[in-house]
Amino acid sequence: MFLIIIVFFSSCIYLDVKAQEKTKIKIERAGFFEKDKVKYPNASVLTRDKNDKVLISHDGVLMTCNQAFFYEGRNFIEAFGEVLLNQGDTLNLKANYLEYNGDTRLVFAKGDVILNEPESDLYTESIYFDRNSQEGFYTNRGKLIRNYSDTIYSLRGTFFAKEKKYRFEKEVDLRTPKYNIYSDVLNYFTESGKSYFFGPTDIITDNSKIYCEIGYYDTENDNGYFIKNSKIDFEEYKINGDSIYFDQSRNYASATNNIKILDTINKTLTTGHYAEIHRSIDSMFVKKRALIASFKEKDTTYIHGESIIITGKENKQIIRAFMNGKILRNNLSGKCDSIHFSQLTGIAQLINKQNSFNERSRKIKKPILWSNKSQITGDNIHIKFDTDKNIIDSLFVFDNAFIIEKDTLGIGFNQISGKTLNGNFIDGKLKEVDIIKNAESVYYLRNSENELIGIDKSKSAKIKILISEQNIDTFTKINQIDGNVYPEDEFNENDKLLKGFFFREDEIIKIIDELFIEDKKFQFTKIKKLE
């Protein structure tokens, strides 16, 4: 066993020594040979003839030139004029001047240098190349051309022949017919055309500008992935996110985590934690804490849903918010199952699924609005925006309309119910309301000193309400059917609430964060890092 170990160890030493053995440079061909110890000490001068260049070989490379100085004792070559170093089918190095050390296998070339490998050509003034590691570098500007389409400029660069990769540094400028990339550090794979960049990077196309500090772009397939302070500026959109995927060929982008999408044409800001943008069909999908804020109006309108779909061109967009649909605008807020808003009609519909509640339950959660101190519910609620003035114009509630407002001193509830409700807004505030057909009311009457006169309970064909200073100011019954005013102590407790009464004060939305309270919990997507 000991003998076997010794033999094995000895073999390893032999192989290692063999691998490190230094081989001599060979002069394969030269038209003229000169040796002058005075003029060229320690060197032999090799010169081409009119037919052939000087040919030199060493460890799998061939070199040709017009003239060479061969320092045999140092195993060193200086080559001049139309120098070409060939390493099999992997690379060619052209230059006006080249130095080659046969012991260290290091190459230095300068003067109109061209480094060629199957997929690209690098042009620079000087380059160092290590045949042992198969790596080279330049420090005085370079230009790489790949497939006559991709051109890259940089101050410094390193070439990794085994990986077919360049690492460009300082003032990197990658140009293609479709876009330009400007970066501090860019790794470029000549075989695939993929670019990986590190540090502040700008990607400019005909209709977009991309910025990130870490990312990659595939020049073959026109797509990329960007992380760390990533953003895309389209003509109509500005997209920010922790990570962004972009496909130029499909006019598609997706963003993940902490996204912001500014629509500069329609004046909206959409946020969430996942989004897809299909520019060719004017479509956007957002989910995970999705919110769209419209700031065309004097007051910003916020629409929320666990997912939001936006489609359509300028001034013709349709916004659909699904699951926990909510709306907030100044002193107006509302909630429902989903919201449908059309820019063309200016109508925002608050919709509930038909089978989403228990019909036998008294506390049916229908679409609901809060305007100042008034709670408004119904089977369907429509808010109409004046698209010319960009303000709320009117309100429509269809079927089972119900208004509830606390009495001034909070001892009871003013209530009005009916078939439908029409409301008008002035300066963004609900000022006039008509309850039409089968109108019923319970109203606490007070004098100018806010003393309770009595409680009015009646039925009418229609009730008109005028609102001022956030309270019901005038209460007019039209075609009253029956009713009476009762002293408080004579009013039956069971009559104080109309059928369908459900006060939902604890659900009022006052601030933006309250739009997300009922959303399903979600986890942030783990951002995929670049290797």
80 in a structural domain: yes
Mean pLDDT of 435-448: 86
62 occurs within a structural domain:
yes
Q: Locate tokens 């001193």: which residue?
A: 409
* pLDDT per residue as tens digits for the range 74-87: 999 999 999 999 99
Mean pLDDT of 99-121: 95
What single-letter DSSP state applies at residue 408? Answer: T
Residue 419 lies in a domain: no
Whether 61 maps to a domain, the answer reads yes
Lowest mean pLDDT segment, chosen from 95-99, 312-316, 331-335, 407-411: 407-411
The mean per-residue pLDDT over the stretch 266-279 comes to: 92
Torsion of CA 291, 293, 294, 298, to 10 degrees: 150
**Domain-embedded: residue 248:** no
395, with CB counted inside 10 A (0-12, 13-18, 19+), is buried
User: d(Cα 199, Cα 246) in Å, to the nearest integer?
Assistant: 19
Residue 13 is inside which H or E element, if any? helix 2-20
Assigned domain for 82 exists: yes
pTM, to two decimals: 0.80
Do the domain assignments include residue 477?
no
Determine the pLDDT at residue 5: 38
Number of structural domains found in the chain: 1
Rounded to an integer, the average pLDDT of 459-487 is: 80
> How confident is residue 365, by pLDDT bands cut at 50, 70 and 90?
low
385-410: pLDDT as tens digits: 887 777 888 999 999 999 998 887 77
pLDDT at residue 66, rounded to an integer: 97
C-alpha span between 168 and 347 (Å, rounded): 54
List the single range of 74-88, 318-332, 459-473 with lowest mean pLDDT: 459-473
Q: State the pLDDT at residue 359.
A: 45
Percent of the chain's residues with pLDDT above 70: 93
Average pLDDT, integer, range 46-61? 94
Q: Do the domain assignments include residue 165?
A: no
User: Could you tell me the residue range of the domain that residue 70 belongs to?
Assistant: 24-111
pLDDT tens profile 480-507? 777 788 888 888 888 889 998 999 989 9
Confidence tier at 471 by pLDDT (50, 70, 90) = low
